[in-house]
Structures are given as C-alpha cells and as structure tokens.
Amino acid sequence: MIRSKTQTILTAAAASALLAACAVGPKAPVADLPVAGTGALIGSANPAVSTAQARDDWWRLYDDPTLDGLIQQAFAENNQLEAAFANLRAVRASLSEARTGRLPTTSTSAAYQRSRASAATVQGLPPGQDAPEIDTYDVGLDASYEIDLFGRVESTIRAARADVRAAEAAFATVQVTVAAETARAYADTCSANAQIAVAEQSLGLQRDTLRLTERLLEGGAGTGLDVASARAAVAQTAATLPTLRAARNEALFRLATLTGVTPSEASQAAAACARPPQLSQPIPVGDGAQLLARRPDVRQAEADLAAAAARVNVATADLFPSISLGGSIGSTALDSDGLGDSENFRFSFGPLISWSFPNVFAARARIQQAGALSDAALATFDQTVLGALQETETALSNYANELDRRAALTEARDQAARAADLSRQRFNAGADSFLLVLDAERTQAAAEAALAQSDALVSTYQIALFKALAGGWTPQV
C-alpha cells in the first residue's frame, strides 16, 4: 500500500517535471530589423570605401606598428575594460545562481535538548515531586524540490541568460570604444605634431622675411610699415604654437590614460610621430545587415528585450500555485547511542502546494510592471537599430565630404605656395610692393594650416567610421 502511494506521487512528479518548460504568460515580442536598413549603406557608393566585410582589427589597415602596440596595451591595461569584465563575471555568477533553481535544496540538522515538563501536566506524578528531566538527541536530512509546472524557474534562468548576453555585449561596447579612442588619441597626437611642424615652417619663412625687411630698412630701401607688418605676421603665427602644443599634450595624456599608465609614462613613440596614420586602401564597410549583426549595442538591446520578456513570464507564474516535493529522514533518540537504532529512524515524504491568494493583486501589478518594461525594451531596441544606422551613415558622409574638402585645400595650398613664390620674385625685381609679399605669405600660411587641420579631421572621421562599424570586439569573452 505504501509502495503504491509512493509510486503514484513519483509518477505525478515526473509528469509535472515534463511540463516544467511550459512557461505561462505572453510570448516575447519579436525584435524585427527594418528591411530598408539591411541593404547597402548609402555612403558605400563613395570610392574611399568598399562593400567588403568590415574588419575587427581595423587598426591594422594603417600598417602602423606603434598604433598596433598601443591598441594591444589598451586591451590589456585599460581600467574601463577591467571593470566591464568584472561586471560580466558578476552577471555570469547570477546565471549560475539562477540555475540552482533546477536542483533540490537540502539541509542537515543536529540537535540536543534537555527538557522537563511541568509537574501539573504529568499524570500519576506524586504531589511535591518534580517531573523527570529528559535528554533528546536528533539528527536529520531535509530535501525539497520545486516542480516548475508554470515555468517560473526556467523563465528566471532564461532572463539570467539574456542578462549574460547583454553584459557580454556591454563589454564588447567598451572594447570598441577603447580601441577607437586609443587610435583617436594617437592620431590627435600625430596631427598636432604635424600642425606644429607646419606652423614652425611658416614661422621660419616669415622670420626670414622679417630679417629681409629689417636689412632693407637699415639700407634705406625699406619702410617702418614693412617691418611692423612683417613682425605682426611673425607674432600671429607664433601665437598658434602654444595652442597646438597644448592640444598635443592633451591627446598624449589621454592616450596614457587609455593605455593604463600615468601621463609621465606616456608613449614616447606617439609623442614623436610626425603625421597621422595613413590608409592605403578603401575602408571595408559591408552592408546594413552585417553592421547590425556586428554592433554590440544592438546585441545588448536585443538581449535586454529577451530578459524583459522572460521576466514577464516570471511575474505571471506568481499567479499560480507553487508545487514542491519534500522529504525528510532522520533519527530521534533519548541518548546519543540510540541514534543508530532502527526503531529510532523517522522519515516523511510528500508534495507541498502553496498558493498566495491574498497577493494576487500584487502579482498582477508586477505583471503590468514587467510588461511595461518589456515594451520599453522593445522601443529601445528599435531606437538602437536606427541610431546605429544613423551613426554609420553620418560617419560615412563626414569622411567622404572631408576627403573632398582636403582635395580642395591641397589645391589651394599648392596655388598659395606658387603665388607666394611669384610674389617674392616680383618684389625682388621691383615689380610689386612688399605688402603684396606679406599678403601672399599670410595666404600660404593659412592654406598650410587649413590643410593640416583637414588631415587631422580625415583621421578623426576615419576612426569615427571604424567605431560606428563596431570593429575591435571579440565575442569570446
């Protein structure tokens, strides 16, 4: 009889376990990608880019060993990356904790108690005599297993898995940012050095012109106006150098922080670089579908949506009863030597059903809250997709237009240099006034500075494009 009852209970438990994966609640919302955003990128028609698959190690396209070393150092030493990876480990530990819901919970106990009943409650005890003192020894093992009939445990695990995917994507986002910002800081340092070199070259030419005007004035062929104008040009160009040097130092110190060192330990190779890194081939950008698959922020938003949907199921499961199988085995004796005697063994086994009717309104409120958060996660996903496409197309547009601007500035610089050279020749031949020479030199200096600034912007826009393409992250974390 006892055996048949036990078999009935175990059969019911097995049937319930088969239904454990059947979560209650609404289905997860579908994270659809806009069809128009999965085709060719608008800016991919520019010859400066190609539709080949974008690269994770995009910085190697520059073929710059210094940059390669700095990126590697940043990946190894950057503190933001270290913090993001620690957060990822914490979320993975939470998943391990959630998985324990599939396992029975156990507890062991051991107790000793000396007791004496009240004499008034003991029948047959002579008046004035105390009740006897009794020693009780007890050891036991209790086990309980929740039958996940309504999917609460599995939904909790599903939410935790999605949290891990979101944390992995968040870590990848930091990797993308660190790679891009390290390259940007290096390029800014090199660009500042290049602009300093241009300013110093212009300053040298203007000082030569100043010395010429001073000699002419001493010889009676020049005027004080020519000297004053030449000195003003020298001072104006010299005034640009402190700003450029400050920008160079700021970029160098930023690079030091990104690579995990103090400003005094900043890379000397970066400090000495003379020009921003150069590309010798078009930038591979792929298409919209590849972009959205690569972008870690899109992956994070998708994972957050899955987690929010799973938590709706968890909240819905609270509307239904909780079913557990419990068992206990132990021994209770009046002396410690009797704990091993067969007649002192005890056991219990059976299902426990609990249903919190009074909290049904609170449960429904939690369902509404979880549902609202799921709707918000879906809207966030949609917005993240649009933002990724916008950022990439903007980066492509900025890069293409700055290339056109640099080409025009290169032509302007070449023509300004030719005009300045002709103006000096005409002045030496007595055909033009010295003011025309000064004006031509100012134009040449401004053209050189504008071209150097455009070179810096080209590098900045290149790196912004690489960042938008989400290069520099590895899924295996």
Tell me what percent of the residues of the chain surpass a pLDDT of 90.
56
Query: With bands split at pLDDT 50, 70 and 90, how would you rate the model's confidence at 115?
Result: confident
Q: In whole angstroms, what is the distance from residue 316 CA to residue 147 CA? A: 16
Q: How far apart are CA 95 and CA 164, in angstroms?
A: 7
What would the mean pLDDT of 415-438 be, rounded to a whole number?
87
Write out pLDDT tens, residues 82-96.
Answer: 999 999 999 999 999
Q: What is the pLDDT of residue 358?
A: 57
In the predicted model, is pLDDT for residue 359 greater than 50?
yes
Q: Above 50 in pLDDT, residue 12?
A: no
Alpha-carbon separation of residue 197 from 194, 240, 275 (angstroms): 5, 11, 10
Higher pLDDT residue, 22 or 429? 429
Residue 131 has pLDDT above 80, yes or no: no
Task: Please name the helix (run of DSSP H) or strand (run of DSSP E) that holds residue 397, with its range, or none.
Answer: helix 360-428
Of 192-206, 216-230, 267-281, 377-391, give the lowest mean pLDDT range: 216-230
d(CA 17, CA 29): 27
Per-residue pLDDT tens over the stretch 235-251: 999 999 999 999 999 99
DSSP-assigned beta bridge partners for residue 350: 326
**SS3 state at 321:** coil
Which residues have a Cβ under 8 Å from the Cβ of 265 and sit 6 or more positions away?
A: 256
| pLDDT recorded at residue 11 | 40
- In terms of average pLDDT, the best of 118-127, 315-324, 375-384 is 375-384
Q: Select the more confidently predicted residue: 184 or 317.
A: 184
pLDDT digits (tens, 9 = 90+) for 192-233: 999 999 999 999 988 988 998 888 888 887 788 888 988 998
Please state, in angstroms and rounded to a whole number, the distance separating the CA atoms of residues 387 and 34. 12
CA 53, CA 170: separation in Å to the nearest integer?
A: 23
What confidence score (pLDDT) does residue 118 get? 73
Q: How confident is the model at residue 2 (pLDDT cuts 50, 70, 90)?
A: very low
Q: What is the pTM of this model?
A: 0.82
Q: Angle, nearest 10°, between helix axes 224-238 and 434-468?
A: 10
Number of neighbours of residue 207 by Cβ within 10 angstroms = 16
Residues 434, 226 contacting (CB under 8 angstroms): yes
Q: Is the pLDDT of residue 14 over 50?
A: no
How many CB atoms within 10 Å of residue 439? 16
Q: Check pLDDT > 80 for residue 469.
A: yes
pLDDT value at position 91? Answer: 94
Average pLDDT over residues 136-157: 85
pLDDT at 3: 40
> Phi and psi at residue 78, in whole multiples of 5°?
-65, 130
Residue length of the chain: 477
Task: Categorize the per-residue pLDDT at 356 as very low, low, confident or very high, splitting at 50, 70 and 90.
Answer: low
Residue 221's closest CA among 437, 470, 433?
Answer: 433
Mean pLDDT, residues 354-373: 81
Q: Which is more confident, 222 or 412?
A: 412
pLDDT of residue 474: 57
Tokens of 33: 């990608």
Higher pLDDT, 475 or 299: 299
Radius of gyration of the chain (CA): 39
pLDDT category, 458, cuts 50, 70, 90?
A: very high
Mean pLDDT of the residues in the chain: 87
Among 61, 52, 59, 473, residue whose Cα is nearest residue 295: 473
pLDDT at res. 322: 81
At residue 362, the pLDDT reads: 83
Q: What is the pLDDT of residue 100?
A: 86
For residue 475, pLDDT beyond 50 = no
Task: Check if the beta carbon of residue 178 is closer than 8 Å to that of residue 75.
Answer: yes
The residues, ordered by sequence, that sit 6+ positions from 309 with a Cβ below 8 Å of its Cβ are 26, 27, 28, 29, 374, 377
In the structure, what pLDDT confidence band is assigned to residue 473 with cuts at 50, 70 and 90? Answer: low
Q: Quick one: pLDDT at residue 472?
A: 67
Contact 222, 438 (CB under 8 A): no
Q: Which pLDDT value is given to residue 325?
A: 82
User: Is 208 exposed, middle or buried, given 0-12, 13-18 or 19+ CB atoms closer than 10 A?
Assistant: exposed
pLDDT tens per residue across span 22-66: 567 677 777 888 888 899 999 999 999 999 999 999 999 999 999
